[in-house]
Amino acid sequence: MSHLNLRCDEVPLGAQLRSYIEQRLDQAIAKLRDKVHEINLKIEDINGPDRKGLDKQAKLVVRWRNKQSLVIEDKDSKLGVLIHRVMDRLEASIERRTQRHHEKRKGGKRSLPSQTKDPR
The pLDDT tens digits of the residues spanning 10-58 come to 788 888 988 999 999 999 888 888 899 999 999 998 877 666 656 899 9
Q: Looking at residues 87-109, what average pLDDT do you find?
A: 82
Task: Please name the residues in contact with 60: beta carbons below 8 A apart, sequence gap of 6 or more.
Answer: 39, 40, 41, 70, 71, 72, 73, 86, 90
For 4-106, give the CATH class: alpha beta
- Could you please report the per-residue DSSP string of 10-43? S----HHHHHHHHHHHHHHTGGGGGGEEEEEEEE
Choose among 86, 63, 65, 84: nearest CA to 74: 86
The pLDDT tens digits of the residues spanning 48-79 come to 766 665 689 999 999 999 999 999 999 998 99
Domain boundary assignment for the chain: 4-106
